[in-house]
Every structure is written in C-alpha cells, then in structure tokens.
Amino acid sequence: MIDFLFGPFVEFSFMRRALVGCLALSLSAPPIGVFLMLRRMSLMTEAMSHAILPGAAAGFLVAGLSLPAMTLGGLTAGLAVALLAGFVTRRTGIKEDASLAAFYLISLAGGVLLVSLRGSQVDLLHILFGSVLALDDPALWLLGGIATVTLVGLAALYRPLVMECVDPQFLRIVSRAGGPVHYAFLGLVVMNLVGGFQALGTLLAVGLMILPAVATRFWAIDLAGLLPLSVAFAMAASLIGLELAYHADLPTGPAIVLSAGLIYLGSLLLGPQGGLVRRLFRRRHLEA
C-alpha cells in the first residue's frame, strides 16, 4: 500500500515536480478563492482565467513555449482585462459581470486564434489544459514566488478584505483604501491564475482556486476555519489527482480538478454546516 501511494513520487522526478508545483499552487490559490466566494465573485475568476489566454498566446508567438514570455503576456492581459472591465463598469451602466463576460469571450476567441496562427493542435492543448507533468525548475520557482507574494499580500490586506466582504460601503465611508485594496486583490487573483495556467492550463486554472474554497463552506463558518481547510482540501485534491492520473492513465490536470470536485460533492452531502444529509436528518427529527 505504501509503495502504491508513494512509489510514483519516489521513482519519477516529474511526479515529484508535479506534486511540488501543485502544493505551491494549493497554498495560495484556495485562500484567494475563499475571499472571492465571500465577495460573491467566484464566477468572475472563470472570465479572468480566459482573459490571460491572448497574452500567453502573444508570448507564445514571440518566443514559443517560453515560460517568461508566456507568464509576462498572461499577467499583462489579465490585469488589462480586469482594469478595462472596471473602467467600463464605472463609465457606463453595464454591470461588472457583464463587462467581464464580454471581455472573456473576446479574449478566449482571440487567444485561440493567435495560437492557431503559428502553433499546432498540441500547442493549443498545452495552453488550454496545461502540462503539470512537464513542470521544470523555472516553473516551480514561479509557482513558489506566486505563493509567497500571495500569502504576504493577503496578510497585509487581511483587515480591509474582511471589511469589504462584510460591508463594502462601510469601507468606502471610513477609508479611501477600498479602491487600492480591490485592485491589489485583483492583482493577486491574476497572479494565481497565471500560476494555475502553467500547471493546469487556462481552462482549468480556476479549479484549485474555487472548488476547495466552496467545499469548506460546508465545514467551517469563519475565516479561521475556511482558509486553512481550503488549503488542506486543495492539497488533498492534488495528491489524489496525481495518483489517479498515474495509476489509471488519466490526463493529470482534469484528474486533479475532478478530485477537487469530488471533495466538493462529498462536502455537499456530508458537511455539518448545511450538508444535504444533515438537513435531511434534521427535518426528519423535527417532523417526528
């Protein structure tokens, strides 16, 4: 049993690299997902994850499958779309979710077109679905750096972020930090999506950010429980997904995200904070 669980990581260096990269991503992305969930912005990350595609595709056109070029391009495109969506929302009557949806569709189509101009179908699949088993040292340094910056940034922004989750109007009244905090937080979101893009691709980058965060809502009621539990769920999904991919010969990125999805479904059924089973037994008790 021990050999079954740990054998792949002992025997193959690419499995160890994939595990380290996923664990680094699990440290930073799920806490971001918790704050997105509390601010009712979970679906926004799906749009922003596709917004990085044209920038990554531009980097690919210039330098091929170059980590620095694609990372810089994706980061620039993601931040540009976030700022443009905010600008359109403030200058017009369109809601932020609608403007993000519009830019998301434009970005996705433009990114796929850019990759198709020069790359092959394999390159397109690499960008859309990632290649977690092909992570090298520069990619691991990038993921580790993103995790470090994210944790330090969340520690610095913790109090205003909590206030904005509870009452954003109050934060705007008592402090002028609301706008800078919001854009700093969006910057952390984009950074983690770029990191997720390196491992899981643009289509699945949001998986480890949102699914563990939503699953924790059925187990904890405050940030002291939500934040560490989201990290634990993401790490468990990473390990389970890598094991499934290795032993069952499955695509690694989808296996990791599906493992996170199974944790969410299990939490939905069995979680003590509003899980379906608990609600069912509570109803029967009251009826009796």
- Residue 122 pLDDT level (bands cut at 50, 70, 90): low
Residue 256: pLDDT band with limits 50, 70, 90: very high
Share of the chain above pLDDT 70, in %: 86
Q: Could you count the other beta carbons within 10 Å of the beta carbon of residue 111?
A: 27
Greater confidence (108 vs 21) lies with 21
Residue 57 pLDDT > 70, yes or no?
A: yes
Q: Does residue 285 surpass a pLDDT of 60?
A: no
Give the right CATH number for 2-208 from 3.30.465.10, 1.10.3470.10, 3.40.50.2300, 3.30.700.30. 1.10.3470.10
Alpha-carbon torsion, ordered 272, 274, 279, 282, to 10 deg: 60
Helix axes 96-118, 67-91, angle to 10 degrees: 150
Minimal CA–CA distance to 34: which of 216, 253, 198? 216
10 Å Cβ neighbour count for 215? 26
Give the pLDDT confidence score for residue 74 in this predicted structure.
84
CA–CA separation, 254 and 54 (whole Å)? 22
Maximum Cα–Cα distance across the chain: 69
Residue (of 145, 150, 142, 179) closest to 32 by Cα position: 150
pLDDT at res. 101: 75
Torsion of CA 258, 261, 263, 269, to 10 degrees: -140
| pLDDT score at 171 | 65
List pLDDT tens digits, range 64-115.
767 788 888 888 888 888 778 777 776 776 776 677 778 777 877 887 787 7
Percent residues over pLDDT 90 in the chain? 31
Tell me: the pLDDT tens digits for 133-175? 888 888 899 999 999 999 999 999 898 888 877 776 666 666 6
- Of 60, 71, 66, give the one whose Cα is nearest residue 197: 71
Q: Is the pLDDT of residue 218 over 90?
A: yes
Which range is most confident: 30-34, 42-46, 196-200? Answer: 30-34
Residue 260 CB neighbours (<10 A): 28
CA angle 33, 36, 37 (to 5 degrees): 85
Q: Two tokens at 23?
A: 């664990």
Residues in contact with 277: Cβ distance below 8 Å, sequence separation at least 6, in sequence order = 269, 270
Q: Predicted confidence band at 259 (pLDDT cuts at 50, 70, 90)?
A: very high
Per-residue confidence (pLDDT) for residue 30, from 0 to 100: 95
CB 35 within 8 A of CB 155: no
How confident is the model over 230-241, as a mean pLDDT? 95
Amino acid present at 200: L
pLDDT (0 to 100) of residue 206: 86
Per-residue pLDDT at 168: 65
Round the average pLDDT of the chain to a whole number and report it: 83
Select the more confidently predicted residue: 206 or 286: 206
Q: Which residue has the higher pLDDT, 11 or 264?
A: 264
Instruction: Determine the pLDDT at residue 217.
Output: 92
**Domain residue limits, the chain:** 2-208
Which pLDDT band holds residue 277 (cuts at 50, 70, 90)?
A: confident
CA distances from 271 to 215, 222, 223 (A): 9, 15, 17
